Amino acid sequence: MYTNTMYAIVDVLCLFIFLIGSYYTVIGFFSLFGRKHNKSKPGRMRFAAVIPAHNEADVISGLISSIRRCSYPQELISIFVIADECTDSTATLSRKLGARIISRPISTCKGDALSAAFSVILTEKAYDAVAVFDADNLVDSEFFSVMNERLSSGKEAVQGYVDSKNSDSSWISYAHSVWYWITNRLMQTGRAVLGIGCVLDGTGFVLSTELLAKVRWKTVTFAEDAEYTCILAENGICVDYAEDAVVFDEKPRTLRESARQRRRWTQGMFDVQSEYTLRLLKRGKFNALMNLWGDVLSSVSFAALTISAFVINFGIWQSAVGKITLWIYILFNILITLLALVKDKKISFKMILNIFGFLIYIISWLPVSFFGIFGRRNGGWYHTKHKGKD
């Protein structure tokens, strides 16, 4: 009797994992389809480009220059650099390039830096939207034009496509880039096509000032983007996605840099998940909840079901129907991923050569997450040193 009960529990668990995996598979499948957008001629909105910066003199000029090269009317873009406890020439360089400086003598976290800038911008009442960038970014020339169209169509929060500007720097920067390419298409685009709400991704996103006045930016974790996404979901606001509004982000060049960056991100995500999981569940925000846990659940479910295909040979996977279903799920997910990379023109022979590096990157999430959650440290904004050039 005990054995039968144990098998029944395993069967229920396997079915539950399969349903979770299928949820993300459906999202990935719909990411392969396009969306129709409002083609009416949009108005011209005034943007405040906000750049949190802690000792970013090596890269800040490149970002500001790329913003100034954008096709959108430059008189409608004001640049705000938050000099967050800077001890280098970040503020001086930014000011020479025409940026306004908001100085913070003590660095706490990126969320606090953004809050300080948003308060100034809202007080001035001169802008229609804020666009947030990391100091190491480069901005595509059409970024503001695309975002202007989305905001003009009634969207209040829009995330852009976060690409990589240094995928060829090392095997780990390439692995980071591949992960972003996959999640940009399968998760962000898929959610947008289905209209279930995307997630803010730390940089390359736009918020209307009307939204910020209504739903204040009050984040307290190191995963401020995920936290504000949850706050928006609680207020019934979905984040849209603009795959044509591209920013290029600098990825870590060494495994050590990558592990440190991801450890801090894991710590922040754990705090957000601890705070918002039950809150979203109580409010019936199922899709927002699945977004919050998306990276974990999609990866774990696929890994668990793949292992099940080779290891588990009883219960629901023992029958011919069960085995066929399991293998269809695995192969279908692989096919969707390949089609997504092909559609975005990211597939290459180099990607095949770096498959083992990508697997190491994926597996390394396990110890990184463990130390991020259980080896927690107090402190302010963790600064990743950016080089800008190889």
| Listed residues 228, 259, 290: the one ending a domain | 259
Quote the pLDDT of residue 190: 94
φ/ψ region of 115 (left if φ > 0, alpha if ψ in -120 to 50, else beta) reads alpha
Measured CA distances, 367 to 240, 260, 267 (Å): 33, 11, 13
Q: Examine the domain organization and report whether 25 and 116 are in the same domain.
A: no
Domain shared by 22 and 52, yes or no: no
- Shared domain check, 253 and 319: no
C-alpha 293/C-alpha 273 separation (Å) is 8
Report the interhelical angle of 2-30 vs 320-343 (nearest 10°). Answer: 30
Q: Is residue 41 part of a domain?
A: no
Residue 382 within a domain: no
Residues 96 and 178 in one domain: yes
Quote the number of domains for the chain: 2
Would 164 be classed as within a structural domain?
Answer: yes
The pLDDT score that the predictor gives to residue 311 is: 75
Predicted confidence at residue 376, as pLDDT, reads 59
Judgement on whether residues 250 and 366 belong to the same structural domain of the protein = no
| Contact criterion met (CB below 8 Å) for 212 and 127 | no
pLDDT digits (tens, 9 = 90+) for 58-86: 999 999 999 999 999 999 999 999 999 88
Mean pLDDT, rounded, of the chain: 89
Which domain-ending residue is among 259, 293, 313?
259
Same domain as 217, residue 104: yes
> Are 111 and 193 members of one domain?
yes
- Give a yes or no: residue 273 inside a domain: no
What confidence score (pLDDT) does residue 196 get?
A: 93
Identify whether residues 52 and 26 lie together within a single domain: no
Say whether both 139 and 238 belong to one domain.
Answer: yes
Per-residue pLDDT at 1: 46
Is the same domain home to 92 and 239?
yes
Quote the pTM value: 0.90
Residues of the chain with pLDDT under 50: 1-2, 379-381, 390
Q: What is the CATH number of the domain that holds 114?
A: 3.90.550.10
In a domain, 232, yes or no: yes
Domain-located, residue 272? no
Please give the pLDDT value at position 66: 97
> What type of residue sits at position 371?
F
Residue 72 sits in which domain range? 47-259
Residue 388: inside a domain: no
Residue 151 lies in a domain: yes
Asked whether residue 355 falls in the same domain as residue 321, the answer is yes
| Whether residue 229 sits in one domain with residue 149 | yes
